[in-house]
Structure 1
Amino acid sequence: MSNPEQEKKDQQGNTNLLSKLRVSGKIIEFKSEGEEKLVCPYCGSTTFIFDYENGQVICAKCGSVVLEHVIDLRPEWRAFTAEEKESRARAGGPLNRLTSEALTTTIDWATKDASGKELDIKRKLEILKYRKWQQRVRVQTSYERNVIQAMNELSRISSQLGIPKACVDEAMGVYEQVLTKGLVRGRSVEAIVAACLHMACRKIGMPRSLDEISQYTRASRKEVARCFRLIARELGVRLPLSDPKLYVPRIVEQLKLSGEILKEALNILEQAKKRGLTAGKDPAGLAAAAVYIASLLRGEVRTQKEVAMAAQVTEVTVRNRYKELARELNIKIPIK
């Protein structure tokens, strides 16, 4: 016969372990901060079933109710679709690096009150004074002013290039490290932002070259490249080499080519990589040459000028890489 007082004592002692549960479907295992586990007082099992409807913790081996009146931490509402779940959730959205504590709400320039009545001249002057002081207190330090300027510049460049949010957040994180180290002082904010964006693209694997990014900034490519090397050296960042295969889908999409061209171009680049032909070459130029060769082999011919424009490289680069790949890989181009 089991001792009721001992069972009640065990239940009370194990109640504080509820916060340490590890859920796997409906089967859970209770663990405390140490090595102690919640153990069934009847069979010694450590695997339990969480009954949400009845608020009970049941032993999965012998079926004994170990704990009762357990608090249900699930939401009280129900959702049957992903849209309903998102709309009914009361938690906020994910953190966004493109927001700052200095980006507070602003006082509107409207000259009417809530009922639509025009304000008198005394009230207008008072609101103007409030607006002036509100703008002054929004940004109080040079760090905040610099961050806001970088955010605006990064948003502009990323929107023009169609860069995803994950890459933009990574770029803003790099810029914050650069700003903390004092590397922005004496340099163009636009050049630093462009360099950080290129570094983020290299980290995530986005096919955006330095030439493409520098086109949308007032800083020259030489200045952006200098800032990029400075940031990589000072932060100790080791970036992976750009893979030419990442540029192929974008080139194929812009030229409106078929999936066979994409597959053939990737195959050509794979063979070139095995023979060591991609080392030290511009990845965008290699991708453009592979797409050009694939278009000739599959009969969907595009001119070198069209391919060069899609890859943001020169025709000379496409021509040189095309001849090199065709010669080294022994590819016979059909004569049209």
Structure 2
Amino acid sequence: MSSKVCRNCGSTDIDVDQARGDAVCMTCGSVLEDNIIVSEVEFVETGGGGSSAVGQFVSSEGGNVNPSFGENNHYQGMGRESRAQTVQRARHSINILGHQLQMNKHCLDTALNFYKMALTKHLTRGRKSAHVIAACLYLVCRTEGTPHMLLDLSDLLQSAEDVQTCFQQQWFL
């Protein structure tokens, strides 16, 4: 029994299971909370005699799940946090360039989605981030029919050929 009250039926018979990470109303069966974060640390013994923490680390800033703990307390999956930071930096740059071109939020969100696709397909490797972002914004301009030209983006970045080459390599090859 818990001090929580069900939003659906008003019952106070709530089962909070820390192992599953959820809170369920025992009267109507509604899941009141899931993915409850616990502050306890649990370790398991590995096959080689070492120890490993169980679960995932959650940053105090919240939002994104950070890397999992792995064998011998070394981090595994550091790429997930790095990718989130890369996407966050791209979102910021897209917003800056997009606002200079007076593009609406829908276009900026679409450009970010194109950037995420390019990132997933490793089309950002070996290219300057600003050029990839400009290519994504230009792609949105072409698909949405906005009156912006490649020259407008190139003027903002002072590199006409680089943006054009990046655009062609990303989307036409």
Give the structure-1-normalised TM-score. Answer: 0.28
Task: State TM-score, norm by structure 2.
Answer: 0.53
Question: SS of the residue aligned with 2:85?
Answer: helix
Matched, 1:227 2:162: no
**Equivalent position of 2:149 in the other structure:** 209
Describe the shift of the 1:137–1:204 C-alpha distance in structure 2 as closer, same or farther (beyond 3 A): closer
Give SS of 1:191's match: helix
Partner of 1:147 in structure 2? 87
**More strand, by proportion:** 2
The Cα of 1:134 is off from its aligned counterpart by 3.9
CA distance in 2, matches of 1:136, 1:216: 34
Q: CA deviation at 1:172?
A: 1.2
Report runs of 4+ in structure 1 exceeding 4 Å deviation.
Answer: 135-140
User: Larger radius of gyration, structure 1 or 2?
Assistant: 1
Q: Output aligned runs, 1:289-300, within 5 Å.
A: none
Q: Determine the C-alpha separation between the residues in 2 that align with 1:189 and 1:216.
A: 14
2: CA distance, partners of 1:152 / 1:166: 15
Counterpart Cα distance in 2 of 1:194 and 1:214: 8
Structure 1 gaps, min length 5: 1-132, 235-336
CA deviation after TM superposition for structure 1 residue 215, in Å = 2.1
Letter in 1 for 2:113: G
Cα distance in 1 between the residues matched to 2:130 and 2:60: 27
From 109, 128, 138, the counterpart of 1:188: 128
Amino acid at match of 1:223: D
> Is it true that 1:198 corresponds to 2:138 in the alignment?
yes
Q: CA deviation at 1:175?
A: 0.8
Structure 1 residue 160 displacement after superposition: 1.0
Distance 1:146 1:223 in 2: 21
Q: In structure 2, what is the Cα distance between the partners aligned to 1:174 and 1:159?
A: 17
Distance 1:136 1:189 in 2: 26
Q: CA deviation at 1:179?
A: 0.4
Q: Shift in Å at residue 167 of structure 1? A: 1.5
State how far apart, in whole Å, the 2-side matches of 1:146 and 1:197 are. 17
| The one of 145, 157, 161 aligned to 2:97 | 157
Counterpart CA distance in 2 for 1:214 and 1:136 is 37
Shift of 1:157: 0.6
**Structure with more helix by fraction:** 1
